[in-house]
Amino acid sequence: MAAQKKPADTTIYQLKISLRDTKPPIWRRVQVLSSTTLQELHFIIQESMGWYNSHLHQFLIDGVEYGKPAPEYDFHVTDEAKVKLSKVVGGEKAKFLYTYDFGDGWDHSILVEKILPRDPKVIYPICIKGKRACPPEDCGGPWGYVEFLEAIQNPSHPDHDDILEWIDGAFDPEEFDLDEVNQRLA
């Protein structure tokens, strides 16, 4: 009888992705394969947070910048598509930074909370928890988001109507739909 093959990815990284400079905190807890490339992690973050992948981004891990090289924009980074998470992130409690949209400056702290055995019944990546809605794209970063919230919550604010129209009428900063996030990740 031939020996059974073990799955190539036997470990799972449980990551807590926290959007910096936001109060109350906005975060997601995801589980990904240890073989996930940084490029794949970028897309996982985009889907789990609710961003639209319409801006440049980069990871900063142990002083090295990773991203999608774009020499035409003078953006020189180590190619994220060629780097697996397990090769650049130590073990549990390791931390690194992900920045999305250099104009707005959405910085995300990423913490490796746990390294777990793979559950063969689970399809990865998966989001297991999160808090609060992701700020809308192009609202001006953490400080613009504060102004955005003030405007939508105050009907007498001079920008109230324009901003509500811009976001199609409604935005609940407390909303987080785990099922919707996992549908996007699937």
Among 33-42, 72-81, 91-100, whose mean pLDDT is lowest? Answer: 72-81
Please say whether the dihedral angle defined by the alpha carbons of residues 38, 94, 178 and 53, taken in this order, is positive or negative: negative
Q: How many CB atoms lie within 10 A of CB 56?
A: 15
Contact 78, 66 (CB under 8 A): yes
Tens digits of residue pLDDT in 133-172: 999 999 999 999 999 999 999 999 999 999 999 999 889 9
pLDDT band at 5 (very low <50, low <70, confident <90, very high): very low
Average pLDDT, stretch 22-44?
Answer: 97
Contact 154, 160 (CB under 8 A): yes
Tens digits of residue pLDDT in 43-59: 999 999 999 999 999 99
Q: How far is CA 128 from each of CA 30, 57, 88, 132, 141, rounded to the nearest angstrom?
A: 6, 24, 24, 14, 26
Rounded to whole angstroms, how far apart are CA atoms 10 and 118?
Answer: 5
Average pLDDT, stretch 19-42?
Answer: 97
Give the pLDDT of residue 70: 84
Tens digits of residue pLDDT in 62-82: 999 999 998 887 788 999 999
Contact 67, 50 (CB under 8 A): no
Give the pLDDT of residue 6: 46
Full-prediction pTM beyond 0.85? yes
- pLDDT at residue 179 greater than cutoff 70: yes
Rounded to whole angstroms, how far apart are CA atoms 168 and 152?
Answer: 12
- Contacts from 119-123 at CB under 8 Å and sequence distance 24+? 119/12, 120/7, 122/31, 123/186
Please say whether the dihedral angle defined by the alpha carbons of residues 24, 176, 31 and 102, taken in this order, is positive or negative: negative
Q: Which residue in this structure is represented by tokens 């999608």? A: 68
Contacts of 140 (CB under 8 A, 6+ apart): 104, 147, 148
Phi, psi of 56 (to 5 degrees): -65, 160
Chain mean pLDDT for the chain: 93
Q: Which amino acid is at 36?
A: T
- pLDDT at residue 7 greater than cutoff 90: no
Question: Domains of the chain by range and CATH?
Answer: 11-133+175-185 (3.10.290.30)
Give the pLDDT of residue 9: 55
Q: Which amino acid is at 105?
A: G
